[in-house]
Chains A and B, each alone.
Chain A
Amino acid sequence: MIESTKEPGLDSLDLMINMGPQHPSTHGVFRLVIGVDGERIVRAEPHIGYLHRGSEKLCEAEDYAQIVTLFDRMDYIANLNSELGYALAVEKLMALEIPERAEYIRVILCELNRIASHMLFYGVYGLDVGAMTPVLYGFRERERIQALFESVTGARMMHNYIRIGGVKEDLPDDFDARMKALVSQLELGIEECDRLLTDNEMFLARTKGIGSIGPTDAIDFGVTGPSLRASGVAEDVRISEPYGLYDRFDFGIPVGTNGDCWDRYYVRVEEMRQSLVIIEQAMAQMEPGPIMAKVRRITRPPKGEVYMRTESPRGDLGVFIVSDGSDRPYRLKVRAPSFANLQGLKHMLRDAYVADAVVILGSIDIVLGEVDR
């Protein structure tokens, strides 16, 4: 704790600052009430729920195939990763074998979606620290990925592409050629983005040593994903509990040291490179074949409970399904990574300057669609 700047015997007025819910830097509808002493934050209270749609309850009224669309709308920046978490949960409950080609398609598209998500983060994080240019570069790269998604799934955002038992359609004929071009473009693009912002002196001054959180605290608060790895914990569900085909690829887990804003930022930049490594391996290994397992038209998983975790771009995405054997889940609970990551915010904000609040909030990369569900 820093010492109070208050003069002894003099009572200063505790100033409350309200940020949001319609503040552009909150990346959605998120409200943060902070109490300041001079320029230091002494209290912070996040308020969420402005986007609460009751998705979990809605899932209880939809059949298993329809729920995929609801998952699209939870993490709306990384839709495919969100769909994948759900599909894998149901498949695990049914003990369903997925055709290899479908698994490869899922890996390739989800890793691309991870890059797209981190590119969006890269761009808007630039805006958060007051740099206008990065968002133009970040969006340029993201746009290339979105264009490819459109040719594969037919939609730019709400794909509804991953099915229980496989994927909706096979890849288009020109996919290989487009993908080759895209990978080399992205390699250059990530390099360019990295050079533009990472070592910029003003960026370093705004992010180095700001909002740090130690590994023990981060784990205790349930912080996962890049935000946890920035604190030096090499925890990645793709490696610690491999799902799909992730045990076939050789890739690294970028890990930070200080757990500050810069580490959280740079872990994501490095992760984009690792995603490209995975994509290249998957493209080389993929072979033609069926894309859907033999499943009945209406999915009726056996009675039971399953908790499936996947590594979404924001962290450990858990899907808990209680099935009573009917065509609808009895209960479905989503453990949204941003929801838990946000709990660490209070800790990161302690003793920070009020001007850094936006920088710290931006570095967790929240998506309010999945926080509020």
Chain B
Amino acid sequence: MVQRPKKRESAAPQAPVALDDRGLALSTLLGSALDDVDVQIDAAVDEVVVVLSPDDLLAVCRIARESDDLDFNYLRCVSVVDYEERLEVNYHLFSLAKRHKMVIKTSVSPEAPNVPTVTGVWRAADWFEREGHDLFGVVFIGHPDLAPLLLYEGFEGFPGRKSFPFHDYDEW
């Protein structure tokens, strides 16, 4: 039998970063606005990315919402990504007045996935956080009601996580 050559594991390239003028202005603005918080300002494709620890999340969200220069009044989306060794929570923000956008990222361990809620900053976070709790088991501390949203009461496990089985899952 002919042994087929093993497919070469190609090192996938990284998507290039191309911030527009608003994005560049925002990243300099963020540098001064978040001066006294331990954050890392980065960029992904066309968006400014702010990486921080869950402890600073609420403070930074408040600044983002209330500062006149930043003025992020619209929370577009909260999404959770499971990297197995950590759960990453992403907050996609947009300012309708200033027309700039950014992502706030924070990571927690899957064993103690506690993140403070931002429902007090944007009410839009309510269902997005409930969904994150439902599918990924992230506990949003201080959320008014983390009852199941998409799943039924009593569902066990977190189907969004990578460890949740794909095919051999018996519901009944």
Contact = CB atoms under 8 A, between A and B. Distances in A.
A54 B76 contact: no
B151 A52 contact: yes
B73 A306 contact: no
A316 interface: yes
B130 to A, nearest CB: 10
B154 interface: no
B12 A343 contact: no
B17 to A, nearest CB: 9
Contacts of B166: 57, 61
Determine chain B's interface SS by DSSP, over half rule: loop
B41 interface: no
Interface string A313-324: 000101010111
B75 A49 contact: no
Interface stretch (A175-183, A278-286, A327-335): A327-335
Pick the most buried of B16, B127, B159: most chain A CB atoms within 10 A of its CB. B127
A49 B15 contact: no
Interface stretch (B27-35, B54-62, B77-85, B107-115): B77-85
Contact of B124 (A48, A52, A307, A343): A343
Contact of A372 (B16, B45, B75, B150): B150
Given A240-B99, A320-B90, A335-B92, A221 B152 contact: no
A320 B79 contact: yes
A323 B10 CA distance: 14
Interface residues of A, number: 46
B123 A302 contact: no
Interface in B63-88: 73-77, 79, 81-82
B159 A305 contact: no
B50 to A, nearest CB: 13
B76 A335 contact: yes
A307 B101 CA distance: 11
Contact of A57 (B46, B128, B159): B159
Nearest to B125: A222
Given A240-B99, A320-B92, A335-B92, A304 B122 contact: no
Interface residues of B, number: 41
A302 B159 contact: no
A55 B160 CA distance: 10
B45 A343 contact: no
Contacts of A240: 99
Interface in A193-222: 219-222
B149 interface: yes
Contacts of A65: none
A60 to B, nearest CB: 8
Interface string B137-158: 0000000000011111000000
A54 B159 contact: yes
A24 interface: no
Contacts of B12: 300, 302-303, 324-326
A220 B75 CA distance: 8
A235 B96 CA distance: 8
Interface in A149-206: none
Interface of A: 48-49, 52, 54, 56-57, 61, 92-95, 219-222, 233, 235, 240-241, 300-307, 309, 316, 318, 320, 322-326, 330-331, 333, 335, 339-340, 342-343, 372-373
Given A306-B45, A343-B127, 19 more contacts: A56-B135, A56-B160, A57-B164, A57-B166, A220-B73, A233-B96, A235-B96, A304-B44, A305-B103, A307-B92, A309-B76, A322-B81, A325-B10, A325-B12, A325-B13, A331-B79, A333-B81, A335-B92, A373-B150
Q: Which 7 pairs between the two chains have the least Cβ-Cβ distance? A: A325-B12, A304-B15, A222-B124, A335-B77, A333-B79, A49-B150, A302-B15
